[in-house]
C-alpha cells in the first residue's frame, strides 16, 4: 500500500484523475489471430456446455421449439378425434352417423347404454342360462326391427320419421333391459331372503 507519507503531489493527482486518458494505444486486431493458435486445440466440451447453458437459459424465459409444438398439436388433434368418434360413433355405425349426423350423438349414447346393460345382464344370468335365453329373444326381436329400420334409412322418403322410429326402438331396448335387470335383482333378493330365513 502507498504510505500516507508519500504525499501526492500535483503530478500524481493529475495522473490519477486523468488515468483513462493515458490509455491511448490499441493493440492490432490481428493479435488475437496470433494468440488463438498458440492456445492449442480448443477443448471439445465447450460447444456442448455452451449449448447446455443456452438451453438452460432459454428454459428460464419461454422455451419454444416447433417440433415440440407440432407434437403437442398432433397429440391434441388425435385425442380429440378419438373423443369425437367415441361420442358420435362414426366408426361404430358409420351409416347412421353419416346419414343423420344431428342424431349421431343420441344414437351413440343409447348404444353405449344398451351395451352396458347387456353386459350387466350377461353377468347376472351366468347361473341362469335359460332366463338369459328368454330375455335375449325379447331383445333380439327389437334389435331385428332396428336393423330393418337402419337398412331402410338410405332410401327412406321421410328420413326424420325413420330416425325417430329408430330412436324409439333404441329407447325400448333400454327400457326392456332396465325391466329385465329389475326382475333379475328381485330374483336375487328373493334368493337371499330364502338363504337367510330357510324356515319361512
Partner 1 sequence: METKLYTDRHVELVERCKLGERKAQYELYSQYSRAMFNVCMRMLNHEGEAEDVLQEAFVDAFTHIHQFRQQSTFGAWLKQIVVNKAINQLRSRKMQWVDVDEWLLTGEEVASAEENHEWQEDQTFEVARIRRCLELLPAGYRVVLTLYLFEGYDHEEIGEVLGISETTSRTQYMRAKRKLLEVMKTH
Query: Taking CB under 8 A as the criterion, which residues in 38-67 touch partner 1?
Result: 38-40, 42-43, 45-46, 49-50
CA distances from 149 to 143, 170, 176 (A): 10, 11, 19
* Distance between start and end Cα atoms, the chain: 114
Binding segment for partner 1 among 36-44, 73-81, 109-117, 185-193 (CB under 8 A)? 36-44
Minimum Å gap between C-beta 16 and partner 1 is 8
Output 37 or 157, the one with its CB closest to partner 1: 37
Q: 105 and 88 in contact (C-beta within 8 Å)?
A: yes
Minimum Å gap between C-beta 55 and partner 1 is 16
CA distances from 79 to 11, 43, 70, 83, 93 (A): 81, 47, 14, 6, 20
Q: 179 and 171 in contact (C-beta within 8 Å)?
A: no
Query: Taking CB under 8 A as the criterion, which residues in 158-197 touch partner 1?
Result: none
Minimum Å gap between C-beta 13 and partner 1 is 9
CA–CA distance, 70 with 181 (Å, rounded to integer): 49
Residues in the site for partner 1, rule: CB under 8 A?
Answer: 1-3, 9-12, 14-15, 18-19, 21-28, 31-32, 34-36, 38-40, 42-43, 45-46, 49-50
Amino acid at each position: 500500500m502507498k504510505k500516507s507519507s508519500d504525499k501526492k503531489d500535483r503530478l500524481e493527482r493529475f495522473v490519477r484523475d486523468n488515468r483513462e486518458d493515458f490509455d491511448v494505444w490499441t493493440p492490432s486486431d490481428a493479435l488475437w489471430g496470433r494468440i488463438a493458435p498458440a492456445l492449442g486445440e480448443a477443448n471439445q466440451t465447450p460447444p456442448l456446455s455452451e449449448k447446455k447453458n443456452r438451453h438452460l437459459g432459454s428454459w428460464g424465459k419461454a422455451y419454444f421449439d416447433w417440433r415440440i409444438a407440432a407434437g403437442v398439436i398432433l397429440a391434441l388433434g388425435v385425442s380429440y378425434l378419438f373423443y369425437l368418434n367415441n361420442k358420435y360413433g362414426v366408426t361404430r355405425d358409420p351409416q347412421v352417423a353419416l346419414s343423420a349426423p344431428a342424431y349421431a350423438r343420441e344414437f351413440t349414447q343409447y348404444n353405449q347404454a344398451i351395451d352396458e346393460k347387456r353386459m350387466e345382464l350377461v353377468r347376472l344370468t351366468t347361473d341362469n342360462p335359460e332366463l338369459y335365453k328368454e330375455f335375449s329373444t325379447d331383445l333380439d326381436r327389437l334389435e331385428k326391427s332396428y336393423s330393418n329400420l337402419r337398412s331402410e334409412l338410405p332410401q327412406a322418403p321421410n328420413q326424420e320419421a325413420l330416425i325417430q322410429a329408430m330412436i324409439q326402438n333404441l329407447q325400448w331396448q333400454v327400457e326392456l333391459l332396465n325391466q329385465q335387470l329389475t326382475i333379475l335383482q328381485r330374483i336375487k333378493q328373493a334368493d337371499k331372503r330364502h338363504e337367510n330365513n330357510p324356515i319361512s
